[in-house]
């Protein structure tokens, strides 16, 4: 997989990809990440990328021309499956979306700023708009990092145990069941006996029941389709 991220703040974005799972995925050549500074495509001597909005109002807007130039250049080199715009009014990111995106080969992610981008960018270049929640950030960079993390960890070979991702919360519209590790007894707090039994079918049944119970208590909305 290749992910090209268009941003005004590439330095803000780089650190999550220099540690942990994301770093290992890059080192194993399971994913390629490229950062494109939008100001490199800015207009004039001052590399202008934003301007006042027509009709008046507070806040600047990212201009269409620098974005068009960057995306067009990238598209001239390869075919992209999605051009994603990170925006608070996009589709809320969920596990189903992450699963779908993890099957793609080439993705562009555009990080918004200020009051957003010229609407013509969204109308003519963007194929999918994604939000990480009902709140506003200073820019799309942190949202892009979250999106990349949730997608990249699903790629085959990224996790040491590939079945781990399949048992994460939301994979089956259920939250994950409780998990325990050693010691089995700590300060009179006992791990459920079933988990120590070695009876795999019974353990799986217990986990399914607890996952359903956990979801019913915390996120009953996820059970609408069940």
Can you give 104-131 as a three-state secondary structure string? Answer: CCEEEEEECECCCECHHHHHHCCCEEEE
135 is in an annotated binding site: yes
Does residue 133 have a known ligand-binding role?
yes
Contact 126/84 with Cβ under 8 angstroms?
yes
Is the Cβ–Cβ distance between 111 and 163 less than 8 Å? no
| Residue 118: partners with Cβ closer than 8 Å, 6 or more residues away | 61, 62, 63, 64, 67
Residue 177: which residues within 8 A CB-CB, separation 6 or more? 206, 207, 208, 210, 211, 214
What does the alpha-carbon distance between residue 213 and residue 217 come to, in Å, rounded to a whole number?
6
85 is in an annotated binding site: no
Q: Say whether 137 counts as a known binding-site residue.
A: yes
Does 84 carry a binding-site annotation?
A: no
> 174 labelled as ligand-binding?
no
112 is an annotated ligand-binding site residue: yes
- Annotated binding site for S-adenosyl-L-methionine, which residues? 112, 132-137
- Annotated binding site, which residues? 112, 132-137
């Amino acid at each position: 997989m290749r992910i090209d991220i268009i941003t005004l703040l590439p330095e803000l974005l780089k650190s999550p990809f220099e540690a942990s799972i994301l770093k290992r995925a890059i080192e194993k050549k399971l994913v390629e990440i490229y950062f494109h500074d939008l100001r490199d495509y800015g207009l004039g001597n001052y590399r202008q990328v934003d301007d006042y909005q027509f009709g008046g109002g507070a806040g600047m807007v990212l201009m269409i021309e620098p974005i068009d130039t960057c995306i067009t250049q990238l598209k001239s080199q390869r075919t992209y499956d999605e051009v994603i715009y990170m925006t608070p009014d996009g589709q809320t990111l969920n596990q189903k979306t992450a699963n779908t995106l993890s099957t793609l080969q080439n993705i562009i992610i555009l990080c918004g700023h200020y009051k957003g981008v010229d609407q013509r960018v969204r109308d003519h270049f963007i194929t999918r708009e994604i939000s990480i929640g009902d709140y506003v950030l200073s820019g799309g960079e942190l949202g892009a990092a979250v999106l990349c993390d949730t997608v990249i960890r699903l790629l085959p070979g990224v996790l040491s145990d590939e079945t781990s991702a399949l048992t994460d919360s939301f994979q089956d519209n259920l939250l994950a069941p409780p998990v325990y590790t050693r010691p089995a007894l700590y300060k009179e707090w006992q791990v459920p006996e079933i988990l120590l039994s070695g009876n795999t079918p019974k353990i799986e049944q217990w986990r399914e029941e607890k996952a359903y119970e956990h979801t019913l208590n915390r996120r009953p909305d996820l059970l609408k389709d069940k």
